Structure 1
Amino acid sequence: MKWKKQILDLQAYQPGKSIDEVKKQYQLDSIVKLASNENPFGYPSAVDQALKEFHSSFMLYPDGGAIKLREATASLLGVDNNQLIFTNGTDELVQIISRALLEPGKNTVMATPTFPQYKHNAVIEGAKIREVELVNGSHDLNEMISVIDENTAVVWVCSPNNPTGSYIAVNELRYFLERVPKDVLVVLDEAYYEYVTNSYHSLDFINEFPNLIIMRTFSKMYGLASFRVGYGISSVSNIQQLEPARPPFNTNVLGQITASVAISDQDFVEKCRVRNAIERERYYTFCQENNLHYYPSQGNFILIDLQRDGDEVSQFLLSKGLIVRSGKLLGFPTSVRITIGLEEQNERVRIALKDFIEDVSGRVKISHQHN
């Protein structure tokens, strides 16, 4: 087979263990999954009603233009219908952007560590990758600007950043956008935008900076991860250029219906944002009390450094029926990334983390005595 040479060493995306896998492996009844940054508060209640009322035939293709969802989203955001592109999750939008702009001879700039699909797709397209180390968990925007050259096609900015949760303040974002060359597409990945509690209105920049596209999703705050609907917001001309790289009928009929219903319930979004922030603060307090390093997060997750192998920590939590994400694959080998869950779920995690700390401390004491 004549495979592209660049995919020979690529690894497929590794999802975390499923609830059923952990139940079977550890013979446990109660499993809590806090590894994929899903919304523990569920989704707007009107979604269930919309699904009950769905009577169309599954033999028909979905609306290729996602018209109802397009109108609902444009109305909420205050943008033109033609400034939106809808995709099978933002993963597909990353793929579409890479397919449309990256190729051998071009390069792309991104932070590291950040969402790994930017790099993954750039590798597949044969583009050179320029990674700029985070500083205290945040994008080093000045350094990112400095590595852009005439062959740079795309710059990726993740805010809040996955896995650290740091976000880019509006004044910093403006400074950055003013300095990026106008023929370089800036992709602002805002998968966790709805969780940000600080004042933050990146949409104001869409008309001011024609080289900006913002990515958002219905998988996180709206609780519709199963339906795989993401979208991009940009200038009409950028969307027109991207559309030919989008597969036809790429968002499914149920995804379009549930997303268009969910986006109309902003009370749900506000309640989840507040509850998430309260639970996030409880993790901060826990980390401070136990001298654990963490990054202040504007997402629905927290990255905690336990100064032990991340796989060891996540395996310990697995044995307690708690699925979290080891930091090893995320670029933070001694950390775990924990999705902010319900109050009782978070308490269960903190108790388990305390047990882990005491377990390690006990082993260290015994080791010292033997020496």
Structure 2
Amino acid sequence: MSFDAERLAQPAIRALRAYDPGHDLPTLRTRFGAVLAELGSNENPSGPSPKALAAAREALADSHRYPDPRCGRLRDVLSNHHGVSPDQLVFGNGSHELLMQLAQAFAGPDAAVMHSQYGFAVFAIAAAASGAPTICVPALPREHPSAPWGHDLDAMAAALRDDMRLVYLANPNNPTGTWFSPDALHAFLKKVPDDTLVVVDEAYGEFMQVAGHASALSLMAAHPNLVVTRTFSKAYALAGMRVGYLVAHPSVAAVLERLRESFNLGLATQAAAVAALADSVYLHLTLTRNAEERAWLAAELAERGHRTLPSLTNFLLLDTGEDAAPLERHLFDRGVIVRPMGGYGLPQTVRISVGSRAENRRLLEALP
């Protein structure tokens, strides 16, 4: 009999399906070269702040040393940036790691998890890995005027139950690009019991350049059960550095610190994040460019008869109204990589990252 570790794994892990990162991009870069348009991973085509790159290079000179395990400098600057206490911060290898650890720490067979249909895929993976009972609440309908396929917060509030330990939300949401207002979140939080943690993933939070919007962090003082996760991967263009963090009540942070891997943020990573956060001018330019390019791309797609959902992120969800697989394959064969959404239960859609103007033009030229 051949050895198979599958039978040794815990039941919840045996039932788990791994996160799908998409196409093998290193191989595709070799195949297509400079003509490849990478529009499938929501990366920032502007690249990192030059100051962040310089700080990372300088830090590499000390690569024979372990990094600061407490991320002290980064902790201090983020504490000042968000106006929170240093002991409210926990750092992760991207926010993905932190979303998983929240379920590892607080969910389980007797502690349920809730998330929305079409929510970020890691929510369901984190819940399944913990063996927790999971409630997936149907999203708003496709025809909703302001948030098609977005979170239905009223339905989620109605689905709360006594054993609910974690609720995962995303604002804005990946892959739909939809969002909800601070008032809507506040109304939802007032309905949630104090012993249920509400996790708001704001991976795309910096892109929410709209009047009246505020981060969920503004509600944290009134709701100690609120947890906010963020990342430097998107707006700050440090996806390859893997810098994520969360802000929570100090007692929540203290529990998670017991799980955090030692030295999980490297020397160069910490230095780059500190410098990126300080370069507000570069961030503003990046966000402005993204908003302009997103509007241009959405308009160009609309002229060609393609429907995209409203978005305040660095991506657009294109709804073909039919099986989108042929469109995705057509683009792939021409070196334009977009993300099919069949794994999210949206097989009629593809997610298109907002690229550079040259990349976006290649997309438009490749469309059938």
Same fold (TM over 0.5): yes
> Counterpart in 1 of 2:97?
92
Structure 1, unmatched stretches of 5+, are: 357-371
Deviations 1:333-371, CA, capped at 9 Å, x for gaps:
011100001112112212222xx2xxxxxxxxxxxxxxx
Alignment of 1:297-316 (within 5 A): 297-316=311-330
Q: Residue 24 and residue 204 in structure 1: after superposition, are their counterparts in 2 closer, same or farther (change >3 A)? A: closer
SS in structure 1 at match of 2:136:
strand
Instruction: State the Cα distance separating 1:288 from its structure 2 match.
Output: 3.0
Cα distance in structure 2, aligned partners of 1:19 and 1:241? 37
Instruction: State the Cα distance separating 1:45 from its structure 2 match.
Output: 0.8
Specify which of 117, 124, 130 is matched with residue 129 of structure 2: 124
Deviations 1:68-126, CA, capped at 9 Å, x for gaps:
11111111111111111111100110111011101112211100111111111111111
Higher mean C-alpha deviation, range 278-287 or range 123-132:
278-287
Q: Residue 238 and residue 9 in structure 1: after superposition, are their counterparts in 2 closer, same or farther (change >3 A)? A: closer
State the TM-score, normalizing by the size of structure 1.
Answer: 0.91
Alignment of 1:48-59 (within 5 A): 48-54=53-59, 56-59=61-64
Q: Residue 184 and residue 312 in structure 1: after superposition, are their counterparts in 2 closer, same or farther (change >3 A)? A: same
Higher mean C-alpha deviation, range 131-140 or range 186-195:
131-140
Q: Residue 268 and residue 6 in structure 1: after superposition, are their counterparts in 2 closer, same or farther (change >3 A)? A: same
SS in structure 2 at match of 1:179:
coil
> Counterpart in 1 of 2:14?
8
Deviations 1:279-320, CA, capped at 9 Å, x for gaps:
111232234323333210111000001234333222111111
> Counterpart in 2 of 1:348?
362
> Counterpart in 1 of 2:116?
111
Whether the 8 Å CA contact 1:111–1:133 is kept in 2: the answer is yes
> Counterpart in 2 of 1:21?
27
Cα distance in structure 2, aligned partners of 1:278 and 1:171? 27
Cα distance in structure 2, aligned partners of 1:119 and 1:226? 24
1:162 aligns with 2:162: no
Alignment of 1:234-253 (within 5 A): 234-253=248-267
Cα distance in structure 1, aligned partners of 2:26 and 2:8? 38
| C-alpha RMSD of matched pairs (Å) | 1.6
* Count of paired positions: 353
Q: Residue 223 and residue 257 in structure 1: after superposition, are their counterparts in 2 closer, same or farther (change >3 A)? A: same
State the TM-score, normalizing by the size of structure 2.
Answer: 0.92
Cα distance in structure 2, aligned partners of 1:285 and 1:112? 28
Whether the 8 Å CA contact 2:172–2:312 is kept in 1: the answer is yes
Calculate percent identity across the aligned residue pairs. 33
Structure 1 or 2, whichever has the larger Rg, is: 1
Q: Residue 87 and residue 139 in structure 1: after superposition, are their counterparts in 2 closer, same or farther (change >3 A)? A: same
Q: Residue 292 and residue 30 in structure 1: after superposition, are their counterparts in 2 closer, same or farther (change >3 A)? A: closer
Instruction: State the Cα distance separating 1:325 from its structure 2 match.
Output: 0.3
Specify which of 290, 295, 299 is matched with residue 276 of structure 1: 290
> Counterpart in 2 of 1:178?
190
Whether the 8 Å CA contact 1:313–1:326 is kept in 2: the answer is no
Q: Residue 6 and residue 241 in structure 1: after superposition, are their counterparts in 2 closer, same or farther (change >3 A)? A: closer
> Counterpart in 2 of 1:153?
165
Q: Residue 158 and residue 76 in structure 1: after superposition, are their counterparts in 2 closer, same or farther (change >3 A)? A: same
Cα distance in structure 2, aligned partners of 1:345 and 1:158? 27
> Counterpart in 2 of 1:101?
106
Q: Which amino acid aligns with 1:39?
A: N
Cα distance in structure 2, aligned partners of 1:55 and 1:173? 42
Deviations 1:146-192, CA, capped at 9 Å, x for gaps:
11111000000101000011111111111111111111000000000
Structure 2, unmatched stretches of 5+, are: 1-6, 141-147
Q: Which amino acid aligns with 2:23?
A: K
Q: Which amino acid aligns with 1:187?
A: V
Instruction: State the Cα distance separating 1:61 from its structure 2 match.
Output: 2.1
Whether the 8 Å CA contact 2:37–2:362 is kept in 1: the answer is no
SS in structure 2 at match of 1:53:
helix
Q: Residue 274 and residue 12 in structure 1: after superposition, are their counterparts in 2 closer, same or farther (change >3 A)? A: same
Whether the 8 Å CA contact 1:16–1:325 is kept in 2: the answer is yes
Cα distance in structure 2, aligned partners of 1:52 and 1:108? 41
